[in-house]
Structure 1
Amino acid sequence: MTADPSISPRLSASLSLWDRSSDESDQSQPLSGDRQADVAIVGGGFTGLSTALHGAQKGLACHVLEAETIGHGGSGRNVGLVNAGLWLPPQEVRALLGNEIGGRLVAELGRTPDYVFSLIEQHQIRCEATRTGTLHAAHAPSGLRDLERRAAAWQALGAPVRLLNAAEVAEKTGSAKFHGGLLDARAGTINPMGYVRGLARAARAAGAEISTGTKVRALVRDGTLWRVETNRGMVTAPHVVIATNAYTADLWPGLAQSFTPIRFFQIATQPLGDDAAHILPEGQGLWDTGKIMLSLRRDQTGRLIIGSMGSVFGGTEGLTRRWADRKLHRLFPELGPLRFEDAWHGDIAFTPDHLFRIHRLAAGLYAPIGYNGRGITTGTLFGRALADLFAGASEDSLPVPVSDLVPDRGRGLKMQAYRTAFFAKQAAESLI
């Protein structure tokens, strides 16, 4: 992501709150000279590092190439909700993919938070892991009706989700402004930068190579191998993964045009201590049912982190600060004066049908993409599945069928419409 003038220079030294508060150290080391590998991986986020970790554990020589630093893209800017499932409710997933494939994907994603937390435990990843569930909160009566349908679908599958009334959500959140909610006991929260750096540490310990500050300039087929050409040398491998998701540029024709990037911002208060101990007291993360979604969570030092779709304007002292101040005081009118210490934004890759994709772009070249705001679980799952594929599994074992590259029609118009709507809502709510 290029520098954004809407963020103050004081904040630009830190990618996000998670960047500066992570207990896991940055795993940065540039490529020096040429290398050979079994799998070359473009992108040092959840997907790339999960591929590297699981591939190395299977005896594959994996090499991650990251243009910036580990977690520089969406992984280090994430809200940090370890959610089960997709953006879509399970019945719609089955309708789009069929009962067999859709049902298998829903079941697998329902198990993936368990797997993420097992990796955190196994590798002792220091990422503020909290396993008390997440809350999908109804912003209006219409939102509650949607959650009732979701609850019925999940409960029919035996998932540990529970529909809460307004009073129960008020007890869980400290706010009486929600009309109800869905509590998913499978889920939890993490410091996402801590998790992605921990995956990098674990991947290196398993034998993977990771090169940061190494920008891939071209992918060239040479017989049965790929030459991955960078600004610092070349990696040759029979298998390549483009694991850049919303931060995909022009490395492969048409790949960046297959989704619409949507920006999501967050802004964090200073630690609030006992004044906010009643807000999300059990540590759940929250997102709401609004079309322009709201997120809310705490970190382990007592900061409140609130976010929504759109960009940061004015760092911690401008429009976004005013929006956050008014939003938090509407939710929690008892709060006193608030000071904010970090603000950042990142991009989410949305597909037209809100389903993930795994594209086979050419022989040995794969691009998982379009996570639709489910990067932590999806990236971890897809990375493991691709490692299995390169170790000898069939494509039929992948979580979703391999698909052709299709442009997201109207992408440019949608991007402009979203930017306008997100700014207008942030501006309007900062005045209320």
Structure 2
Amino acid sequence: MPDHDQSLWLKTCREHVESHPLTDDLTVDLAVIGGGYTGCSAALTAARSGASVCLLEAQDIGHGGSGRNVGLVNAGLWLPPADIRARLGDEAGDRLIALLAAAPAEVFDLIEQNGIDCAPVRNGTLNLAHSASGLRDLQKRQGQLSATGAPVELLSTPQAAQRTGSAAFYGALFDPRAGTIQPLGYVRGLARAAAGAGAQIISHCQVETMQFDRGIWTLKTQQGKVRAKSVIQATNAYHQGLTTSSPDYVPIYYFQFATSPLPEELRAGILPGGEGCWDTGLIMTSFRLDAEGRLVIGAMGDLGHAGRSVHTAWIRRKLAVLYPQLAAQPLTEGWHGRIAMTLDHIPKITQIGPSALSVHGYSGRGIAPGTAFGRLMAESLLQNDLSKLPVPVASEYRENWTGLRRAYFEAGATLMHFVKTRF
């Protein structure tokens, strides 16, 4: 049985970043806590602006969700535009919608500019209707997205079958702005580029305390201290230590399995355009091909939970339903990651002190939003202009019953997968 804490992306990543230990106390303009998309984007932005930067990561770069996700570079959030406006107001909502519409282009531009080895495929994504009601939802979403100028296209049942190679769907919403990447390769490439611009990248260095005194933050670790004028905390769902600034969210687990590289005769009929996919099911399913031709398929669920065997049995059945020709293909890799989910599915930026910001809650959409948020947070702090932030900054954010809601979601996913394994 595969190790659920070791992702396929870790085994196939070709990007490397030099990390140096914290041997002496440092003084910098900006300290970044967390080596995921947001933190690495912030470090790269700050370093290229001429600021001195130190990024501190408690594990390896990309250890958290940035190295475990599906690798879909999507435009926008899970929420349709009308829901974003309803939560933020028209002005702030439209600003966020426009920012995230352009975010996939920002990701692919960074990949090209920095020569990041992460198998980028900019052929769009397919949001697939799993039922007639799912198709109606996509029709509404398509209308709202088109009204913002998004070049999305609603596909019929035959068109969806042609694009996926599967007869399991009622239609699809195609977004040509999006694409797929090797997600760990991308975040490590960002860190490498940041280091090349002068940022100090320090991994395996957990921040234990933060204190602000006379205009300077002091971050204490077991290896030494970092003094900084400004701080970005970008730990999201993998926060360690620092109980005084721990973000509130509901931890949702998402697992994935992968086949071995498929023989050419099987691979040719599956996703011939190279799109990444996810469906409209309440317990969502995603699937895509990686650069070596593995079929990577996943859904909500914790492989470290008692429901692991249920999730595994269900994913094998789901694979056979989507692609009967793959029913006998072994699943050679299996892993999971944590998502920081907020109640309204809007990312949260909080001011945790003077010139110090924390961000979390991408709710499963971390690649493009994290890249854009990291850039804007760095610019905002270095220019002392919080109006640049992509969402309104809050003094604090609280979620209620996070443990209970996490158990509820895991129980629901396990029950759904148990039932669908047998019927």
Same fold (TM over 0.5): yes
Is 1:160–2:151 an aligned residue pair?
A: yes
AA at the equivalent of 1:65:
L
Q: Which residue of 2 aligns with 1:189?
A: 180
**In the aligned structure 2, how far is the partner of 1:367 from the partner of 1:161?**
33
| Mapping for residues 24-423 of structure 1, pairs under 5 Å | 24-253=15-244, 255-256=246-247, 258-274=248-264, 275-312=266-303, 318-423=309-414
TM-score under structure 1 length normalisation? 0.94
AA at the equivalent of 1:301:
E
How far apart are residue 253 of structure 1 and its match? 3.0
When structure 1 is superposed on structure 2, of 109-118 and 214-223 the one drifting more is 214-223
How far apart are residue 27 of structure 1 and its match? 3.6
In the alignment of these two chains, the number of paired residues is: 421
- Answer yes or no: is the 8 Å Cα contact 1:27–1:70 preserved in 2: no
**In the aligned structure 2, how far is the partner of 1:51 from the partner of 1:357?**
16
How far apart are residue 246 of structure 1 and its match? 1.1
**Pair 345,378 (structure 1): closer, same or farther in 2 beyond 3 Å:** same
**Pair 101,325 (structure 1): closer, same or farther in 2 beyond 3 Å:** same
Q: Which runs of 5+ in 2 are unaligned?
A: none
Residues 261-320 of structure 1: CA deviation (Å, up to 9, x unaligned): 1110001111112213211111101011111111101101110000000112699x9544
**In the aligned structure 2, how far is the partner of 1:45 from the partner of 1:251?**
17
Q: Which runs of 5+ in 1 are unaligned?
A: 1-7
Residues 369-428 of structure 1: CA deviation (Å, up to 9, x unaligned): 111111101110011101211221511111111013231112222111112112222333
SS in 1 for 2:244: coil
Runs of 4+ that moved beyond 6 A = none
**In the aligned structure 2, how far is the partner of 1:418 from the partner of 1:401?**
28
Cα RMSD over matched residues? 1.7
**In the aligned structure 2, how far is the partner of 1:331 from the partner of 1:384?**
39
TM-score under structure 2 length normalisation? 0.96
Residues 74-126 of structure 1: CA deviation (Å, up to 9, x unaligned): 10001100000111001111122111111111011000101110000000101
- Answer yes or no: is the 8 Å Cα contact 1:27–1:197 preserved in 2: no
AA at the equivalent of 1:270:
S
Q: Which residue of 2 aligns with 1:3?
A: none
SS in 2 for 1:405: coil
**In the aligned structure 2, how far is the partner of 1:336 from the partner of 1:177?**
15
Is 1:16–2:7 an aligned residue pair?
A: yes
When structure 1 is superposed on structure 2, of 409-418 and 302-311 the one drifting more is 409-418
- Answer yes or no: is the 8 Å Cα contact 1:15–1:72 preserved in 2: no
SS in 2 for 1:84: coil
Give aligned-pair identity as a percent.
Answer: 45
